Amino acid sequence: MNLVTLSLVSLLICASGYTRASIHVYDRDPFREVGNAYLVSGGSEGLAASRTPNPLPRHTDPVNVNDGRSYIRFQNITFRRSEASAAKYSKTQRRTGLVQVIIFEAADRDNIGGSPYGGQRSICCTPDLAKVEGCKQGEVIRIPSARDSSWPVTVNVYFRGKSLTAQLKTTEAPISKTGMYNLFFISCDSSLKGMTMSGQTSWKGPDGYLPGRMAPLKKFYVIMAIAYALLCVAWFSQYVRFWDDVLQLQHCISVVVGVGLFEMILWYFDYAYFNNTGTRPVALTTWVVTVGAARRTVSRLLMLCVSMGYGVVRPTLGGLTTKVMLIGVTYFLSTELLNITEYVGAISDIAGRARVILVLPNALLDAFLIMWIFTSLSKTLTQLQAKRSSVKLDTYRKFSNALLITVILAVVWIGYEVGSLQIYVLWQYQEFLLNTFN
């Protein structure tokens, strides 16, 4: 198992390099044709509103991640068109191609695009839409938001003369309302077909670069680390006190408790680094998810062994040892792959869809383990009743009740996570692309 894990980790580190999330990097990204427009998706993230005013940026100053400001910063954004497209114009012409930068909050997604007669929506203004909507032909249809007429934000970038490139000056779009924000680079000029773009955008919240849905997790892991530290103190004090009576299973439980504390500390450092830099260190994140996968695997195998009565009604697992180890290795690899896809890969819609696919085998393994645990627990309770071991029987009944409550809470949490995160983010984002950009 160690060899397989190390090989998998090494492969991912070599392949992924340095994963970026809140700092979105574009490297000659091509504009794709959608409806009557050409576009590149610049990202979609939740951002909290600024706590302090957003003054005009001084780009020579270092970025202070705790300055209370929220913004989307554009840096070195360069659009490159083909030579054939540039050859259609003369050197003296001032504006020979338009690219528009569009930023909008999820609630204002219907304010981009329009339909002249209630049919298919268009991103760009057509002659019919110019009459109905009063938009400017050849530009993105933008309807001012009811809450703020300056939103959605639109920035125009023009090609000049025969130039092959057009650049957007380093600038910031301040965020004054908490919400889910989307960024698109759009052109309505058919002569710009085949255009590419490079550069980067930095999405910063009032406390740092963590995306909105991840920002609370930094404090959460501090609380969890403290909780695990208190648990370690309570457990190991009793562990030392009753050292002569400690069972082999309790040694394993001690390892799980210690690894849990180590995992929470690693998670905090991972999120702190991400928050301060806008990038996620692949090596550290991979270590965190590997430690987490190992902890989850060992804890489930311990519950299975206890349910089978190991150390209580049977001295060994006998012929079940191979089966237990096999399900353990399978569960570890499944959990490791799922967590790497979710946390080590770039935070994007593609990673989200991959997670939905990978979560199914992991959930099936969890369900199989739960069924095996309760089946074994039932047999152990029956054996203890037959032997009339009242003390052990009472202990196992308490364990059974606690385990049942834990399983119910886990199912509720999984339902909440799937419902609030996967369905909302993925479905809403896909709905926007399908309904507005088609």
Report pLDDT digits (tens) over 180-194. Answer: 889 999 999 888 988
Helices and strands in the chain, H and E counts: 10, 12
Please enumerate in sequence order all residues whose Cβ is within 8 A of that of 397, keeping only pairs 6 or more positions apart, or say none: 381
Q: Model confidence at 65, in pLDDT bands (50, 70, 90)? A: confident
Residue 3 to residues 289, 301, 329, 333, 335: CA-CA distances in angstroms? Answer: 17, 20, 12, 12, 16
Instruction: Give bridge partners of residue 215 from the DSSP assignment.
Output: none
Burial classification of residue 35, based on how many CB atoms lie within 10 Å of its CB (0-12 exposed, 13-18 middle, 19 or more buried)? middle
pLDDT of residue 60: 45
Higher pLDDT, 22 or 163: 163
Q: Is 115 left (phi over 0), alpha (psi -120 to 50) or beta?
A: beta
Give the count of beta carbons closer than 10 Å to the beta carbon of residue 237: 10
Three-class SS of 390-419: HHHHHHHHHHHHHHHHHHHHHHHHHHHHHH
For the full predicted model, state whether its pTM sits above 0.85: no
pLDDT of 148 > 50? The answer is yes
SS3 326: helix
Q: Say how far apart CA 223 and CA 275 lie, in whole Å.
A: 17
pLDDT of residue 5: 34
pLDDT in the model for residue 57? 52
Q: What tokens appear for 435 in the block?
A: 């309904």
Could you give all domains of the chain from N- to C-terminal order, each with its CATH number? 23-204 (2.60.120), 213-434 (1.20.1070)
pLDDT tens digits, 220-237: 999 999 999 999 999 888
Stretch 139-146: mean pLDDT, rounded?
87
| Average pLDDT over all residues of the chain | 79
Q: Which of 96-100, 361-365, 399-403 has the lowest mean pLDDT?
A: 399-403
Instruction: Identify whether the C-beta of residue 126 lies closer than 8 Å to the C-beta of residue 36.
Output: yes
Residue 340 DSSP symbol? I
Cβ atoms < 10 Å from Cβ of 174: 16
Averaged pLDDT for residues 399-426: 66
